[in-house]
Structure 1
Amino acid sequence: MEKLQTDDTAPGLHIEPIVGAQDSRVRTGRVDDNFRAVMFKVTAEGSVTYVMHGFWKHDVANRIAESVMLTVNPLTGIAEIKTSVDSEALAAVAEASAEAAAGSSTPTPTPTAASTQPEVTAGPGLLEHYGLDAEKLIKLGLDEEFARAAMTVSDEAALMALVERCSIEWQGLALIDLSAGKPIEEVKSIYGLDRPVDESGTEDEQLLRGLEHPASQLTFAWIEDNEELRRAIEESEFAAWRTFLHPLQAKFVERDFSGASKITGGAGTGKTVVALHRARRLAKEAGSPRVVLTTYTTNLAASLQRDIVRLDPDVALAKRLGEPGLRIDGVDALIRAVLAQAGAGIATASEAVLGYGTTQVLQRTDNQAWDEAIEAAGQELPDKLRSAAFFAAEYGAVVLPRRVKTETAYFRAPRRGRGVALSRGQRVAVWAVIESYRASSRARGTIDFEEAAAIAAEHLDIEAETGSRLADHVLVDEGQDLVATRWQFLRALVAPGPNDLFIAEDSHQRIYGQKITLSHLGIQTQGKSRRLTLNYRTTAQNLRWAMSVLDGSSFSDIDGDSESHDTYRSARSGPVPVELACGSMTDELDQAAELLKGWLADPDVASAPETVAVLVRDQYQRERVVNGLEERGIDVRPVDRDAIRAGSPVAMTMHRAKGTEFARVLLFGVRDGSLPSGVKKYDFSEADLQDALLRERSLLYVAASRARDVLAISWSGQKSSMLSD
C-alpha cells in the first residue's frame, strides 16, 4: 500500500484491470508471489483514490474481482461493495427460513456448545410485529434480496444468520435496530438515511461523496499515512473502534451540548469508546482546554490512560489537575490531588462539611470505624440499625451531601430514598453514633472517602468564588457506580456551561454504592441523554444469557428514569453458553480443568492464552480455583490490581473484571450461597436489601458480558437462585 500511494504505475505492483469484470473500476495488484489485492480505482477531479476490498491468493482474488462492484446506493447515497455471492447466500437463508415457517420435514439443527450456526425456527415473521414489510425496508435503502429475506425470518437467531451473510454492514446493523423495535424514522436519523442524495457530478465523484457518508464510515476508513495504517494492522482488535465508529457513536463524539449530557447503554455498546473519542476531540480544540476523564476504579482509570495513548499518541496529557491538556485519573485520585494542593485553606471547607476545621485530610479512616462507633454510642439503637452498612449509607446519602453538622440539622434533613423510616428518638440515637464516629476520626487525624469527596467539593466551590474551576470539560465513564459526594466533587470541578459534564453510564452494571438521582445534586441531563443498544463485544447467544440474569428486576438510571434491557442486540453470533452442573467442588474443578484444556488446545487460544479468564465471586474463591487448577495441570495467573499480562489464562474476581473483555470466559462457582453474597447486612430495610440483591444480579451480568466469543458457567451443589431455568 505504501508503494501504491507513492506510484501506482510502478511495474512491480502489476496493477491490472480484470477482463469481463462487472465493475470497470476493479483492479488487482501484486502483494507477493502468492497474494493479490482486490481494489477499485476511483478517479475524480484529476486525482486517484484506491478503495481496498481485500487480499486473497492469486486465483481467488481474480475470481472475486470478476464479480465484485463498488456502487452508490441510489436511495441513501452510501458507498457499498456488492458481490453476486451475497445474493446466493441470502437466497439460501431465505429458503431455509421459509421451509421452517411452512413446517418442512427437514430437521432443524439444535445448537450445541460447539455450534456457531444459529438455528432457524418456525413462527410469524419477526419484523411483522413492528408493522414492517419488504417494501418499507426497500424504501429505507436495503437491497431487495436482503429485505425480502428479512421478512421471512421468525426469530432472532435466524435474523443473525441472515445479517452475517450481508456484506453491507450498515444494512445488517439497521435491520438489527429495527428488530429491536426502533422506529424507521429513528433508524433513518441514526444512519443518516434522511439526508438528501447529491446526484451531481460523475459516478466517481458520487462514489467519493458516498465514502464520506456517516454510514460508510462503518466499513471504510481513509488512510492518510503509514503510521496510522501500521497501528491499525498491529492492533487489530483495538483498531476497529479506533477507526470505525458507528454513526450514533460519532454523533455523541462530535455533538456540542449546552450543559451536562449523558449516554447510556449496555455492556459492550461502546460507551467508553465514545468517552475516549470525545475526550480526545475536546482536548485537541483551540485554546488548550483543560479536560478531565475519570471513572470510579483505579484499574479502569489505568485502562483509559493506556487506551487514549493507543487512540492518539499526540494527545497532550496534563501532569497535574488544572493544567492544559487531558488528565485521566480515578475520581478518588482526583479528590486526593485537590486536597493535597489545597494547603491550610482546606480547614475552611472541612469546617463547612464536618463542623470542625482540620488540615489532616490525607489519611483515610479505618474500615472498622463504624462498628466501633456503634459499640461506643449505639446503645439506644434498635437491633436492625446496629449495622455499619446502614450508617455508611445514611452518612453518604443524607448527612454529607447536605452538609449536616448538628443534631438539629439532621432532624430537618430529608431522607428521600433511604428505604427505612426513623422516628425522632431513632434519629437521636443515630446522630449519637455519627458524632462518635466523627470524634474518633478527628482524634486519629483521618477522614473517610466520602468525607474527602465532600470536603474537596466544598473547597472547589469556595475557591471558585474568587477564582476559576480546575477543568473546562469533565467526562465520566461508568457513572452509575458513583455516589452523591463524588458527583458533587465532579460538579465542582467544572463551571456550568457548554460541554461541561459528559457522562457514560449503564444502570445494569451498578455494582457499587446506592442509587442516586443527578437532578438532586444540581446536575441536569434531561433532554440531553441518548442510548446505545447495539452490542459489539458479546455474541447474541452470550448476550441473551447475560440479560436473562436481569429478567424480572427493575432498574433506573442516574436521572431516575426506568431502564429496560430488552432492546439490546448483538452484531455477532456464536456458540450457545455451556452450563456445567457439578456434584462437588472437586467435580467442578475437574470439569473446569477439562474445559480449559479443550480451549487451550485451540490454536487461536494457544497463541494468546491470556484471552481466557476464570471469574469468581471473591478473592478467597479465586485462590482456591488457582490452586485447584494448578493441581490439575492448568497454570492460571491470579490478577488483582496488576495489569493482565500475556502468557497464561487469568483468574480474577467479578468486581475486578469490570472494564475487561476476554475471548472465552468461565464463570466459576455460580452456586447458591456464593451468588448472591453479603446481602444480609442490608436487611435493616427491605428497600436496601432488594437494592443489594439488584447489585448482585448486576455483578453476574457484568461478569457474563466479559465474554466475547465463548461463555461457560459452572456450579457445585445447588445453582444460584439468580440463574433462570
Structure 2
Amino acid sequence: MPQIILGPQQHAPDIDGSVRGKAYAFLEKLAQDDTRPGLHMEPIGGSLDSRVRTGRVDQFWRAVLFKVQGQADAAMYVYLGVWPHDDAIAFAQQARLQVNPVNGIAELLLADGPAIGRGGSPSAPATAPAPDVPSDPLLVQLGHTASTLVEDLGLDPALVELAMEVRDPDEITVLAEAAAGWQGVALVDLVAGRSIEQVRESLGIDDAEPATSDDDATLAKALTHPASRMEFAFVEDDAALRRAIEDADFEAWRVFLHPEQRKYVERSWNGPFRLSGGAGTGKTVVLLHRARRLAREHPEARILLTTFNKTLAEAMQRDLRVLDPALAIAERLGEPGVLVRGVDAVARAVRQACSRTVPAAVTTVLGSRTSEVGQVTGRNAWRDAIATAGAGLAAELRSAAFFEAEYVTVVLPNRVTTYEEYAKVRRQGRGVSLDRQARSEVWKVVTAYRLEAGIRGSLDFSEAAAVSAEAVLASGDHPFDHVLVDEGQDLGPARWQLLRALVEEKPDDLFIAEDSHQRIYGHKVVLGRYGVRIVGRSQRLRLNYRTTAQNLRYAVSMLTGTEFVDLEDQAEDPSQYRSARTGPPPSLLQTGSPTAELDTAVAVVRTWLDEGVTPETIGLLVRSENAGERLVRALDERGIDSRFVSDKSLPAGKPVVMTMHRAKGMEFSRVLITGADAGSVPAAYALRDLPEAEREDALLKERSLLYVAATRARDELVVVWSGEPSELLPIIPEGA
C-alpha cells in the first residue's frame, strides 16, 4: 500500500473544515489504491521535478504531492497541501524534492529561493550594525567561513550568504525562523558557539555520506533521516491521517521532534537515564514519545509515566492521547499499557495493591504505631508539634519549614525510628548543624509529630511514599517494567525511593527528565543516595522550541549570579540555552499604586483581545491565590470575563488567571505577570522563621518560580508591578 508522508505545510493556503475533510478523503483513497482514476494523479508539464503530482480534491481544489517510488511496487507520496487549481499547478512547477548532497537530508526547494521552511524566504539582514552590535559578523567571529558551512555542513548557499553578514544574534534568529527546519536549528547552534562537528552530531548527520544520486531509492532513504523527519512526518494509519488533515494546527498534532530528541526516544540504556534541559526544550515531548515507543514495541509492558502532581499528570495523559489515540492507556497497577499518574496517586495505589505488607512497612518507616494510614496529615502538624514539644529548641530551630526539611531529607529516607538512630545519622546537605543536645530537642518534636499522626491514622505525602516503597519491596513484586519521570527536580527522597522500588534494576528501567532551574518545590536531591545510579547516563537539551529568543534571554537573566546543581550534584549553566524563534522584547511596566497596576494589567489584556489573540491562550500569572482573585475581580469590573484556575481544567474562550506554581508545565501565547514587586516576590511567608542557613535555598526557589512564570510565554511577555520592583526581577536598561 502507498505510504503517505506529510511534508512542510507552510506554503499552502489556509483551508476551512469542509476542505480539510475533502483532503482527508482524497488521501485516504490514495493510501488504499493510488491507481484509482478518480484521484486524477497527474504529472505537471514544465515542472522542475518529474516526481511532482497534483490530485483532484474536488472541482476547485487540488493537492500537490511528490511520488517517490519505494521498494517493490510500494510508493511514497509526500503531501504538501491543497491549493486552488491554477495555484496548485503554479506551485507544483517550482517545487523540487531533493537529497542534500552533503548530509543526505531530504529537502523541499522552491525555484525562487533556497530551501525554506516555516517563515518563507529569508530577507537580507540590516546592512549597518546598531551601535552596540559588534562590527564583525557573528559567524566570522566564531571562525566560520561560507565554504565550510556549505561544504562541511550542507547549508544552503543562499542562506549562508545572508547569515555571514549578520552581526546581531536576533537577526540570526529571524533567519533561522525563515530557513528550513534543520538549517534554522543549525544556524542557532552555530551562533551559540557549537562547532560544525557538534551540530552534525546533534542533527544525526555526523556519519553521513555524501549523496551521489537523487534517484527514488536514495530519496526514500533520505526521508527517514532523523533531521528530515523534522519536516516530513510518516502517517502510520487512517486515524493519524484524519487528525493530521482535519486538525487546523498541524504542528500541534505532529509534536515536533528534533533529531537529538529522537535519539533519546529511540535509544536503549543499561540502567537509569537522566535527561535535563531548560524550560521549553522538549523534555516532556521526549517522555511522551518514549512512552509511546515502548508501549508499541512491547504491548505487554507495564509502563508508568509519572510526575510531581495530578495536574501535570492529567496534562501528559491528554497529550499522550493526542499523540496516539490508539495507545493502550492502563487504569490500574499491573495492567499492560501506559499508566499516567502523579507520584502520590501511585503511592496510594501501591498501598491498596500491597495491603498485606503495609503494616510491616509502616513499622519499618515510622516505628511502633497503628498501621492505619487512611488520612493525610494536616498542614499545621509541624507547627502544633513544635508548640507541644519544642520548648527546649533554640529560637532558630522553631520553624515548621526547618522540621519539614529535616524530616524529609534525613529522618525518612534513612528510616530513622529512634533517637539513638537519629543521634548517629549523617545529615548530608543540611545547612544547619546540630550538636547532640540540639538533636535531642529536635527528636522530641519528631516524636510528638508522629504520635499525633498515629492517633489520627494519618501519613504526610513523604511518609506515604516511604511506606509504599517498603510495601513494594516486601511484596517481592515490581509492578512496572519501565518508569518514566517528568519534573524530577521537584521530587523528594522518599518519592525517589518509591520510584526505584517500582521497577526492577535492568536496562531501560528509569528514564528521568528534570531541570534544576525549575525546582519550585521540595529540596535539593542527589539521586545516587537513594538507589538511582545514573553513572554517566545523562544528557542535556539546550534548544528551546517554545520561547522566543528575547523572552528566553530575559528569563535566563533571572538566574544570573546563582548556582544551581542537578540531580547528580553537578553545576548547571543556563547561559547555553538558546531559541530558534524571535519576537518582541519583554515589556516591563512599573506603576505607582496597586490600583494603577490593575488598570495597566486590564489594558494589556484588552489590547491582546482587540488584536484577535485567542482568549484561552492568554495567561495571567500571580504569586498568590488572593492576588489572582483580585485580578479576576478587576477584569470583571472592567468588562473582561476571565477565570481563576486552581485545579480545574482550562476554560474555553476566557483569559486564564493562575498562580505561578499552578502554571508549571503550561504554555501560553501571551503571558502577563502581575505583582512583581519587592513585597510580593519573594513571598514573605516563604522566608518567614527560616534558619539563616536555609534562606538561600528558599530564595533560590523563589527565583526559579519567577523563571518558570516568564518561560510560560511563547510569543509575548509583559511584567507589571507597583512601587519597587522585586530584587529578583532583572530590569532592562532603557534603550536596550
Aligned partner of 1:358 in structure 2 is 370
The 5 A counterparts of 1:536-685 are: 536-603=545-612, 605=613, 608-678=614-684, 681=687, 684-685=690-691
Alpha-carbon distance between aligned partners in 2 of 1:583 and 1:222, rounded to the nearest angstrom: 55
Rate the CA distance shift 1:88–1:238 in 2: closer, same or farther, 3 A.
Answer: closer
Aligned partner of 1:274 in structure 2 is 286
Alpha-carbon distance between aligned partners in 1 of 2:509 and 2:529, rounded to the nearest angstrom: 18
Q: Does 1:76 align with 2:103?
A: yes
Q: Does 1:520 align with 2:529?
A: yes
Alpha-carbon distance between aligned partners in 1 of 2:621 and 2:214, rounded to the nearest angstrom: 57
Deviation at 1:390, TM superposition (A): 0.3
**Secondary structure, counterpart of 1:315 in structure 2:** coil
Match of 1:26 among 28, 47, 52: 52
Rate the CA distance shift 1:82–1:239 in 2: closer, same or farther, 3 A.
Answer: closer
Deviations 1:358-405 (A, max 9, x none): 321121111111111111111111111100000000010001111111
**Secondary structure, counterpart of 1:86 in structure 2:** coil
**Secondary structure, counterpart of 2:600 in structure 1:** helix
Alpha-carbon distance between aligned partners in 1 of 2:40 and 2:329, rounded to the nearest angstrom: 45
Aligned partner of 1:117 in structure 2 is none
Deviation at 1:135, TM superposition (A): 2.4
Deviations 1:173-195 (A, max 9, x none): 12212222223222222212123
Alpha-carbon distance between aligned partners in 2 of 1:302 and 1:334, rounded to the nearest angstrom: 13
Alpha-carbon distance between aligned partners in 2 of 1:6 and 1:491, rounded to the nearest angstrom: 47
Deviation at 1:204, TM superposition (A): 1.6
Aligned partner of 1:294 in structure 2 is 306
Deviation at 1:20, TM superposition (A): 2.9
Alpha-carbon distance between aligned partners in 2 of 1:93 and 1:675, rounded to the nearest angstrom: 42
The 5 A counterparts of 1:214-293 are: 214-237=226-249, 240=252, 242=254, 244-286=256-298, 288-293=300-305
| Bigger mean CA deviation after superposition, 39-48 or 171-180 | 39-48
Q: Does 1:318 align with 2:347?
A: no
Alpha-carbon distance between aligned partners in 1 of 2:527 and 2:181, rounded to the nearest angstrom: 37
**Secondary structure, counterpart of 1:633 in structure 2:** coil
- Answer whether contact 2:40 2:55 (CA < 8 A) is retained: yes
Aligned partner of 1:327 in structure 2 is 339
Deviation at 1:122, TM superposition (A): 4.9
Aligned partner of 2:137 in structure 1 is 125
Rate the CA distance shift 1:202–1:688 in 2: closer, same or farther, 3 A.
Answer: same
**Secondary structure, counterpart of 2:708 in structure 1:** helix
| Bigger mean CA deviation after superposition, 243-252 or 124-133 | 124-133
Alpha-carbon distance between aligned partners in 2 of 1:693 and 1:33, rounded to the nearest angstrom: 65
Rate the CA distance shift 1:235–1:93 in 2: closer, same or farther, 3 A.
Answer: closer
Match of 1:156 among 152, 169, 178: 169
Q: Normalized against structure 2, the TM-score is what?
A: 0.90
**Secondary structure, counterpart of 1:419 in structure 2:** coil
The 5 A counterparts of 1:463-478 are: 463-464=475-476, 468-478=477-487
- Answer whether contact 2:255 2:323 (CA < 8 A) is retained: no
Rate the CA distance shift 1:93–1:312 in 2: closer, same or farther, 3 A.
Answer: closer
| Bigger mean CA deviation after superposition, 677-686 or 405-414 | 677-686
Aligned partner of 2:18 in structure 1 is none
Alpha-carbon distance between aligned partners in 1 of 2:626 and 2:459, rounded to the nearest angstrom: 29
Name the amino acid aligned to 2:216. Answer: D
Aligned partner of 1:43 in structure 2 is 69
- Answer whether contact 1:663 1:707 (CA < 8 A) is retained: yes
Alpha-carbon distance between aligned partners in 1 of 2:124 and 2:214, rounded to the nearest angstrom: 39
- Answer whether contact 1:261 1:525 (CA < 8 A) is retained: yes
**Secondary structure, counterpart of 1:397 in structure 2:** helix
Match of 2:83 among 56, 81, 93: 56
Rate the CA distance shift 1:329–1:627 in 2: closer, same or farther, 3 A.
Answer: same
Alpha-carbon distance between aligned partners in 2 of 1:681 and 1:663, rounded to the nearest angstrom: 32
Rate the CA distance shift 1:418–1:305 in 2: closer, same or farther, 3 A.
Answer: same
Deviations 1:518-556 (A, max 9, x none): 011121113111111111111222212222211222111
Match of 2:446 among 420, 434, 439: 434
Deviations 1:24-48 (A, max 9, x none): 3223334445543332232354443
Alpha-carbon distance between aligned partners in 1 of 2:280 and 2:120, rounded to the nearest angstrom: 31
Deviation at 1:408, TM superposition (A): 1.5
| Bigger mean CA deviation after superposition, 283-292 or 376-385 | 283-292
- Answer whether contact 1:347 1:357 (CA < 8 A) is retained: no
**Secondary structure, counterpart of 2:609 in structure 1:** helix
Name the amino acid aligned to 1:53. Answer: L
Alpha-carbon distance between aligned partners in 1 of 2:297 and 2:29, rounded to the nearest angstrom: 34
Name the amino acid aligned to 1:482. Answer: L
Alpha-carbon distance between aligned partners in 1 of 2:667 and 2:211, rounded to the nearest angstrom: 44
Deviation at 1:12, TM superposition (A): 5.6
- Answer whether contact 1:264 1:504 (CA < 8 A) is retained: yes
Alpha-carbon distance between aligned partners in 2 of 1:680 and 1:701, rounded to the nearest angstrom: 17
Name the amino acid aligned to 1:594. Answer: A
Rate the CA distance shift 1:128–1:484 in 2: closer, same or farther, 3 A.
Answer: farther
- Answer whether contact 2:587 2:718 (CA < 8 A) is retained: yes
| Bigger mean CA deviation after superposition, 223-232 or 120-129 | 120-129
Name the amino acid aligned to 2:470. Answer: E
Deviation at 1:600, TM superposition (A): 1.1
Identity rate of aligned residues, in percent?
A: 50
Aligned partner of 2:125 in structure 1 is 96
Rate the CA distance shift 1:684–1:666 in 2: closer, same or farther, 3 A.
Answer: closer
The 5 A counterparts of 1:482-493 are: 482-493=491-502
Aligned partner of 1:114 in structure 2 is none
The 5 A counterparts of 1:502-517 are: 502-517=511-526
Alpha-carbon distance between aligned partners in 1 of 2:248 and 2:98, rounded to the nearest angstrom: 27
Deviation at 1:94, TM superposition (A): 7.7
- Answer whether contact 2:586 2:716 (CA < 8 A) is retained: yes
Deviation at 1:224, TM superposition (A): 4.2
Q: Does 1:343 align with 2:370?
A: no
Aligned partner of 2:696 in structure 1 is 690
Aligned partner of 1:412 in structure 2 is 424
Rate the CA distance shift 1:680–1:268 in 2: closer, same or farther, 3 A.
Answer: closer
Match of 1:379 among 391, 412, 434: 391
Deviations 1:474-501 (A, max 9, x none): 1101101001111011111111111111
Deviation at 1:286, TM superposition (A): 3.4
Aligned partner of 1:147 in structure 2 is 160
Aligned partner of 2:217 in structure 1 is 205
Task: Tell me the matched-pair count.
Answer: 701
Deviation at 1:683, TM superposition (A): 5.7
Alpha-carbon distance between aligned partners in 1 of 2:262 and 2:115, rounded to the nearest angstrom: 33
- Answer whether contact 1:475 1:502 (CA < 8 A) is retained: yes
- Answer whether contact 2:107 2:115 (CA < 8 A) is retained: no
- Answer whether contact 2:125 2:165 (CA < 8 A) is retained: no
| Bigger mean CA deviation after superposition, 273-282 or 85-94 | 85-94
**Secondary structure, counterpart of 1:403 in structure 2:** coil
Deviation at 1:261, TM superposition (A): 0.4
| Bigger mean CA deviation after superposition, 384-393 or 13-22 | 13-22
Match of 2:505 among 490, 496, 505: 496
Aligned partner of 1:479 in structure 2 is 488
Deviations 1:107-126 (A, max 9, x none): x9xxxxxxxxxxx9553222
Deviation at 1:162, TM superposition (A): 1.4
Aligned partner of 2:708 in structure 1 is 702
**Secondary structure, counterpart of 1:284 in structure 2:** helix
Aligned partner of 1:305 in structure 2 is 317
- Answer whether contact 1:94 1:153 (CA < 8 A) is retained: no
Rate the CA distance shift 1:85–1:634 in 2: closer, same or farther, 3 A.
Answer: same
| Bigger mean CA deviation after superposition, 306-315 or 31-40 | 31-40
Aligned partner of 1:136 in structure 2 is 148
Gaps of 5+ in 2: 1-26, 732-736
- Answer whether contact 1:241 1:273 (CA < 8 A) is retained: no
Rate the CA distance shift 1:668–1:235 in 2: closer, same or farther, 3 A.
Answer: farther
Rate the CA distance shift 1:84–1:253 in 2: closer, same or farther, 3 A.
Answer: same
